[in-house]
Chains A and B, each alone.
Chain A
Amino acid sequence: MKTNYQSPQQFYRQRRLRMLIVLLILIGIYVGSMLLVKFQTWNSIVKIPAGLIWLFHNFIPTERSISYLGPILYQLWRTLLVSISSTIVASIFALMAAILGAKTTTPHRSVSLVIRFGASLLRNIPVVAWAMILLFSFKQSDFTGFLALFFMTLGYLTRAFTETIEDLDAEKIQALQAVGANYFQCVFCGVLPEAASTLTSWVLYMIENNLRDATLVGLLTGTGVGFLFDTYFKSFRYDAAGLIVLLIAILVILLELTSTQIRRAIA
């Protein structure tokens, strides 16, 4: 980028030209993808207010929907349990992988490379594909949802943990090695206590994320609150479906607030 402009006018003209080009490219991308998807922008935007009105009209829970509260709360509780346990189990494996994979603590460079590649593979296979693959072998059980979330979380957490461990001061590990600590002492007395609070806040973030994804996974694998939503939705019991949406939103917001508090307390 040039910095020696002849005059302020030229600077502004250059900037306006650049902005115009970027804007034209973006509009081009927009129109191109609009045609490919066959999306009618104007028609759809006009429908949004009507959609919202319809939504508020039909999705407001009524007295009738209170009778659905029992099964909904039970499935919501199961979904919460699955999202917590899949995160925790994945975090244990991810921690081991991250210690072996982080540049500062890896036993060998090749191990680090293999772990990075594996984590990237797990992370980039979409959760939908995991659900499909696992549904066939594990049938319609809670375990399918658990495993689908587990694999995806494993990929994400391994990457996050590896980066956290690499961000720590290498000097502390060197100091420990200099006084004669062996590999395990370095890891358990030097690295882990230092990284514990950052690692925990990653885990909390993944729990929140998994609760949202659990709905989708449930929808695809026929378990949990996602399946219940699908059932009510497809049998036109919109008030019950609306109650589920409302309860999910409340649970997610509560979880977010709690983990923010915890994060602040352990920082």
Chain B
Amino acid sequence: MIENSQPNPNALQPSAPKSKHISLVTKPRKILRTVLAVLAIISIYSLATLNSSNLNLADAFHSLGVNLNAMFLHPSVGQDSWGQLLQALVTSVSLALLTTLLGAVVAFFIAVGAARNLAPSWLATGIKAVMAFIRAIPTILWVLIYSVVMGIGASAAVVGLTFHSVAYLVKAYSESIEETSQDTIEALKASGVGFWPIVFQAILPSIVPALLSWTFIRFEINFANAVAVGAAAGADDIGYFLFMAGNFYFNFHEVGLIVYLLLGVAIVLELISMKLRGHYLKHN
């Protein structure tokens, strides 16, 4: 008669908190939805107020179709010769190589000062803030600014592109350096190893794969930027020919050919980066 020994069976019922419903919508989900909703509203507003008054969309798309046809199905060299175009392409690649190498070397030494586990924290914070500011200004503006100081041409392009590369690579490198464990550095410091030997013998070998892949990513960005710089600031590279063909001669056959050349370089770069990464991952 155990059940009946309790005078009031209700008294022993567990008092669970009265939740009305259990929702799958957690706080991160709510924030996510809010962000997406806000972005969607901004986009709709922006599309609705987009300035397209002097534009007949049907005509524009039709002429786009005609141009794309001329570009991709009937590419030709136009008024420039193959030699000129290929030389300009090589110039673009060299511009990207030069700025990446220069940027990588400068960035590595600055990154040592910007890594929290090597440098005092005021120095690291200061360098990172300056680099964030340089990074925030688009590359093309740096090139234009330097083209006033140095005159239009290769030097301004190189310095402008390098400026932005350094800022980008300092961030990537210093984050890679910060991933090295503090124990390694302290053990070496305790046994009396100097600052630069620590950097070159302990830290550098362990982060080479990361450095290599960041540097290569930057090389691809620099190639795209080199083309843009040629178009906007008149360095004598493939971007300049692209700009002239598109904006002055309206020769879409030549634009098509140049786009094909750029595509070819981009595909080769992607293949090289895949090989390089595979090689390094295998050996380390």
List A residues at the B interface (Cβ < 8 Å).
1, 26, 29-30, 32-34, 36-40, 43-44, 47-48, 50-51, 54-55, 59, 81-82, 84-85, 88-89, 120-121, 124-129, 132-139, 141-143, 146, 196-197, 200, 203, 212-213, 215-216, 219-220, 226, 229, 233, 245, 248-250, 252-253, 256, 262, 265-267
Contacts and interface: CB of A to CB of B under 8 A. Distances in A.
Interface stretch (B75-83, B115-123, B177-185, B261-269): B261-269
Given A81-B45, A124-B263, A262-B35, A37 B54 contact: no
Interface in B79-125: 90-91, 93-95, 97-98, 101-102
B145 A59 contact: yes
Contact of A44 (B43, B159, B262): B159
A15 to B, nearest CB: 9
Given A33-B97, A220-B231, 4 more contacts: A30-B102, A135-B246, A137-B64, A139-B55
B97 A216 contact: no
B144 A51 contact: no
B31 A129 contact: no
Contacts of B155: 39-40, 43-44, 47
B42 A85 contact: yes
A48 B155 CA distance: 11
Contacts of A248: 136-138, 141
A248 B102 CA distance: 26
Given A141-B54, A143-B50, A37 B91 contact: yes
Given A138-B60, A141-B52, A229-B141, A81 B232 contact: no
A137 B61 contact: yes
6 contacts: A32-B94, A36-B90, A81-B42, A135-B247, A142-B50, A266-B28
B228 A128 contact: yes
Interface of B: 28, 31-32, 35-36, 39-40, 42-43, 45-47, 49-55, 60-61, 63-64, 67-68, 71, 90-91, 93-95, 97-98, 101-102, 132-133, 136-141, 144-146, 148-150, 153-155, 158-159, 224, 227-228, 231-232, 239, 242-243, 245-247, 250, 252, 255, 258-259, 262-263, 266-267, 283
Contacts of A141: 50-55
A216 B67 contact: no
B224 A127 contact: yes
A30 B61 CA distance: 45
Contacts of A129: 242, 246, 255, 258-259, 262
A84 B49 CA distance: 14
Looking at chain B's contact residues, is the secondary structure mostly helix, strand, loop, or mixed? helix
A216 B138 contact: yes
A30 B101 contact: yes
Nearest to A212: B138
Given A137-B63, A245-B141, A266 B51 contact: no
A29 to B, nearest CB: 6
A253 B132 contact: yes
B98 A37 contact: yes
A249 B164 CA distance: 13
B54 A139 contact: yes
Contacts of B47: 85, 89
Contacts of A262: 31, 35
B90 A142 contact: no
A224 B39 CA distance: 20
Give me the 3 closest cross-chain CB pairs, A-B, nearest first.
Answer: A132-B246, A33-B94, A81-B46
Nearest to B63: A137
B95 A37 contact: yes
A133 B32 contact: no
Contacts of A132: 231, 242-243, 245-247, 255
A35 B60 CA distance: 44
A88 B133 contact: no
Contact of A200 (B35, B71, B227): B35
Given A129-B262, A133-B64, A133-B68, A253 B136 contact: yes
